[in-house]
Structure 1
Amino acid sequence: MMTTATAMMATILSLAMMILATAISKKNNEDREKSSPFECGFDPKNSARLPFSSRFFLIAVIFMIFDVEIALLLPMPITMTTSNTKAWMLVSSAFLLILIVGLYHEWNQGSLEWSN
C-alpha cells in the first residue's frame, strides 16, 4: 500500500513539474532565424529544400525491414539446440516462408528496381 502511494505521489509530482516547466518556458516555435537554413549569416540564394526521391525512400524502408528480419534469423541456429526440433522447424519454416513471399511480392511489384 505504501509503495503504491509513493509511486502515485512521484508520478503526480513529476507531471506537475513538467506542466509547470512547459507553462513558464519562453520557447518560441515560430522563429524565422531558427527555421531558415544557415549560410554564413546571409539569406539563402535558393530553397534549401531539395526534391526528395520517393523511390530511394521506398528502397531504404524495404532494406530496413529485411535488415531487421535478418537480425531475427541470426539466432535461429543457436536456439535449435535448446528447443523442440519439430516446433523449431515449424516456426523457422513459417518465418522463412513469410520472408520469401514478401521478397517475391516486392520483386513482382517492381519495388526493387532502382531505375524505371
Structure 2
Amino acid sequence: MTDLSQYLPILIFLVIALALSGIIVFLPMAVARLTGTHNPNSDKLSEYECGFPAFEDPRSQFDVRFYLVAILFIIFDLEAAFLFPWAVSLDVTGWAGWLTMMVFLGELAIGLAYAWKKGALDWE
C-alpha cells in the first residue's frame, strides 16, 4: 500500500487555487446582482465591433495567409525558446549538441527560404 500523505500539500494547494479562482470569478457577478448594477439591455447585449454592427457573416472564411503567418510565428518563436536552454547547456552537450543545433537552425533557414520563395510572407 502506498503512502498518499505526501500528496496532501498538492491537494491543499489545488483546493485553495480553485476557491480563489471561484471567488475572483463569481464574487463580482454576485456583487453586481446585489447592488443592482446588473441591468442587461439591448445595447449591452449587442455585438460590438469598432462602434458599428458587423457587416459580414462571422463564419466567413479567413484568408489562408493568416494561418501561414501564425504558423510561421509559432515555429520561429519555438526556435527562440529552444536556443536559450541550448546556450545554457552547451558546456554539457559539447560538440554533439552544437552540431545538432546547427542542423536544426539549418532546417529552419531552409524552411524560411522556402516560405519566402512561395510568397507566404508577402502581404497584399
Aligned-residue RMSD, C-alpha: 2.5
Q: Relative contact order (alpha carbons < 8 A, sep ≥ 6): 1 or 2 greater?
A: 1
Mark the runs of 5 or more structure 2 residues left unpaired by the alignment. Answer: 3-44, 48-53
CA distance in 1, matches of 2:122, 2:110: 17
What letter matches 1:69 in structure 2?
A: E
CA distance in 2, matches of 1:112, 1:46: 26
Q: Residue 107 of structure 1 is aligned with which of 109, 112, 116? A: 116
Q: Residue 82 of structure 1 is aligned with which of 69, 86, 92? A: 92
- After superposition, the Cα gap between the structure-2 partners of 1:45 and 1:69, relative to the gap in structure 1 and judged at 3 Å, is closer
Counterpart in the other structure of 1:65: 75
> Identity rate of aligned residues, in percent?
36
CA deviations over 1:9-52 (Å, ceiling 9, x no partner): xxxxxxxxxxxxxxxxxxxxxxxxxxxxx638xxx987333442
What letter matches 1:111 in structure 2?
A: A
- Answering whether residue 107 of structure 2 is matched by residue 98 of structure 1, we say yes
CA deviations over 1:55-88 (Å, ceiling 9, x no partner): 12211111112211221122111111122x2212
Q: Which runs of 4+ in 1 moved over 4 A?
A: none
**TM-score, normalising length: structure 1:** 0.53
- Looking at secondary structure, tell me which structure has more helix per residue: 2
